Amino acid sequence: MREVAVIGVGMTKFGELWAQSLRDIFVEAALKAIDDAHVDRVDSMYVGSMTPGLFVGQEHIGALMADYLGTSSIPAVRVESACCSGGMAVRLGFFEIASGHSDIVLVGGVEKMSDGADVTYALATAADQEYEVYHGVTFPGLYAMIARAHMHEYGTTRKQLAMVSVKNHHNGSFNPNAQFPSEITVEQVINATMVADPLTVLDSSPVSDGAACVILASMDVAKKMQNPLIKILGTGAATDTLALHTREDIATLKAVKLSAKAAYDMAKVMPSDINLAEVHDCFSIAEICIIEELGFVDKGKGGPFTEQGRTALEGLIPVNPSGGLKSKGHPVGATGAAQAVEVVEQLRGAAGKRQVKNARIGMTQNMGGSGASSVVHIFALQK
């Protein structure tokens, strides 16, 4: 396979973007990425989006976005894998270039969640409709079960869960694109409105609008560009059972572990080589489980690891320097692409006050549903 690099990145602010449509926000992010890459063409386009048909009544968005971007002659397709649609779009773009079929590919994600749709219903389509949703269990309840199982099995505390949110809001306070760039306290998290015991609203990612895009290119093309050279060393993806009740252990995210192993193997690196990671903290418990599955800490030790500050900006392995889904926001189809934007900016040394020192290798981990799908990418700054 050919080597693949990221030559441009762009994203919108995340939040309730009332004045912009689905197409507006995608085109904004795409144009920023194109300008950043200094290219005048792309060979094809992948658009990650979970469920625009339910959120805004619009399907066929690959063609729509190509049309409004002014590139309607190129192949353009929507990618869907629930909340990891954006990450899967990056993966497909990577393989198109690695195969030699294209030289420059625009990949991104977009979602508009705040325009009046039944968000709970739309998101619940990524869970098992017959065995979970029919009986009234949606994602807050599913992740609350994961949290209770993890607390029971490993002694994870309520304070440790809250510290995930506190840390990510601290990071997000330095991110101009974050939906909630404000500091919060452990007490505020614990005493916030209960959503699904033990998770409160401040353990939970918000409803968001937004888009993010990256421009991928073959290494031959990338070496001619102005920006620092960021290579994709590895990619991995995996799935698990959709419903929690069919898993061997609901406190284990098997798809995350398998996708990470595939990415590590391809990149020829180990967890200890990673300088920072953007992970899918849709709920505070998710980040604790994910850092265990990624191999940053032993199984069951994610809570204490977080409490000790090991995942903070100045910690052993900074996790979610962008603020994560919790503070930055979670327009579901855009999240995986936005994670890639953050890692590229970090490796370029362009992340401002949230810059991780000596960042050379970064990881993104994007997840769908309650862990039924996961995609991991590993990026490295090339000298």
Domain with residue 239: its CATH number is 3.40.47.10
104 plus 138 within the same structural domain: no
Q: What is the pLDDT of residue 334?
A: 98
Of residues 195, 171, 194, 193, the one with CA closest to residue 183? 171
- 377: domain range? 127-204+233-382
Tell me how far apart the alpha carbons of residues 170 and 339 are, in angstroms, rounded to a whole number.
Answer: 17
Catalytic residue among 150, 169, 330, 377: 330
In a domain, 227, yes or no: no
34 plus 16 within the same structural domain: yes
Which alpha helices (H) appear in 119-253, and where do they start and end? 119-124, 139-154, 158-172, 186-191, 219-222
Residue that is last in its domain, among 173, 193, 222: 222
69 plus 148 within the same structural domain: no
164 plus 284 within the same structural domain: yes
In a domain, 301, yes or no: yes
> Does the structure show a pLDDT above 90 at 116?
no
For the segment 295-331, what is each residue's pLDDT rounded down to a tens digit?
A: 999 999 999 999 999 999 999 999 999 999 999 999 9
Number of domains in the chain: 2
In a domain, 303, yes or no: yes
64 plus 89 within the same structural domain: yes
164 plus 288 within the same structural domain: yes
In a domain, 228, yes or no: no
Catalytic residue among 38, 83, 101, 169: 83
Q: What is the pTM of this model?
A: 0.98
171 plus 98 within the same structural domain: no
The residues, ordered by sequence, that sit 6+ positions from 44 with a Cβ below 8 Å of its Cβ are 74, 75, 76, 93, 96, 102, 105, 106
Query: Helices 284-293 and 254-267, interaxial angle, to 10°?
Result: 50
In a domain, 315, yes or no: yes
Q: What is the pLDDT of residue 117?
A: 84
- pLDDT-derived band at 113 (thresholds 50, 70, 90) equals very high
In a domain, 99, yes or no: yes
161 plus 217 within the same structural domain: no
Rg (CA), the chain: 19
318 plus 352 within the same structural domain: yes
In a domain, 340, yes or no: yes
For the segment 185-235, what is each residue's pLDDT rounded down to a tens digit?
A: 999 999 999 999 999 999 999 999 999 999 999 999 999 998 999 999 999
Q: Is 60 a catalytic residue?
A: no
The residues, ordered by sequence, that sit 6+ positions from 365 with a Cβ below 8 Å of its Cβ are 256, 259, 260, 277, 278, 279, 280, 290, 294, 339, 374, 375, 376
211 plus 354 within the same structural domain: no
Of residues 303, 286, 346, the one with CA closest to residue 322? 346
In a domain, 93, yes or no: yes
Question: Taking residues 37-44, what's their average pLDDT?
Answer: 97
Residue that is last in its domain, among 222, 256, 279: 222
User: What's the token pair of residue 207?
Assistant: 């409803």
Q: Is 289 a catalytic residue?
A: no
For the segment 144-194, what is each residue's pLDDT rounded down to a tens digit?
A: 999 999 999 999 999 999 999 999 999 999 999 999 999 999 999 999 999
299 plus 332 within the same structural domain: yes
- pLDDT-derived band at 383 (thresholds 50, 70, 90) equals confident
247 plus 282 within the same structural domain: yes
